[in-house]
Amino acid sequence: MAGEGQILFKAREAKSWDLAKAEQETKIRVRYLQALEEENYSMLPGNAYIKGFLRTYAKNLGLNPEEVLSLYKSSATAAPVLEAPLTPIRAKPLWLRPLVAVVMALFAIGLVIGISTWTRRPQVTPQNSAYTPPALPTAPAEPSASQNNENTAAAPSTQPLATSESPNTQGLSAKLVFTEDVWLVVKVDGQPALQGTFPAGTTKELQAKDKIELVNVGNAGGLAITLNDKQLPKLGKSGQVVRNIALSKDNVIKAQ
């Protein structure tokens, strides 16, 4: 080593600086300052950083930066690179090239002969086969006009039979009109159907087979019910809470 690291170390000791103080003054990390003093340049990012750090460190220590850099450059000579001995390339025998050329020529000739022979092969004409395909079936004769009339007269009618049953006899149809805000829980045939607060002006329609249950009605006076096209009386007054009201097929409100 040329000794630039020792010069930096002695200059720092002369100022009574520790590495932490040197880091504070130079803004260079302690590990890099220590690497400069130990000339362990493999710890630094690259040659440009090494020169820059040496110049800054020397300047802060009151040294001549150029002298320190000159010492570094004299110690930074590259080690000689060892090169492996060259292995001589064996020359191919002179007779090998003509042999390869002859083989390639023979292969090309054989390929041309094969293609020519293949293209000159006579086309084989298929012989007549003794197989005779069966005759196609004869289309059935169209029926006469008299037969069409007889078939039409004998065909049963497929029109649906009319029923006199009213849709209302098949179950329950309820229309709920909310004239005020109402909190409501409803079950249809035992299954949950409606739940929540419904504002004034809302209309809900329900269909059931056997029963519509009004489990809870908050503000009963704000709910108007039409059951199977029949207006039912109010369930209660405004602000009143009623529970367990069942709407049945006979249009009777039953308290549970």
**Could you give the CA distance from residue 103 to residue 96 in angstroms, rounded to a whole number?**
11
Closest CA to 177 of 206, 195, 204: 204
- The type of residue at 75 is S
Among 75, 96, 115, the domain-final residue is: 75
Strand pairing report for 241-247 and 253-255: antiparallel
Among 46, 75, 104, the domain-final residue is: 75
Count of CA atoms in the C-beta half-sphere (13 A) of 118 = 6
- The type of residue at 140 is P
pLDDT > 70? residue 192:
yes
Closest CA to 208 of 224, 222, 227: 227
**Could you give the CA distance from residue 255 to residue 81 in angstroms, rounded to a whole number?**
107
Among 14, 40, 75, the domain-final residue is: 75
- Give me the number of domains the chain comprises: 2
pLDDT > 50? residue 122:
yes
- The type of residue at 150 is E
| Whole-model pTM over 0.85 | no
- 134 in any annotated domain: no
- 30 in any annotated domain: yes
Residue 15 belongs to domain with CATH number: 1.10.260.40
Q: Which residue has the higher pLDDT, 205 or 159?
A: 205
**Could you give the CA distance from residue 243 to residue 225 in angstroms, rounded to a whole number?**
15
* pLDDT per position as a tens digit, 128-158: 545 555 555 555 555 555 555 555 444 444 3
- 176 in any annotated domain: yes
Look up the domain containing 40 and give its range: 4-75
* pLDDT per position as a tens digit, 66-93: 999 989 888 765 434 344 444 444 555 6
pLDDT, residue 19, reads 93
pLDDT, residue 251, reads 62
pLDDT, residue 93, reads 62
On average, the pLDDT of the chain sits at 77
* pLDDT per position as a tens digit, 156-172: 443 433 333 444 457 88
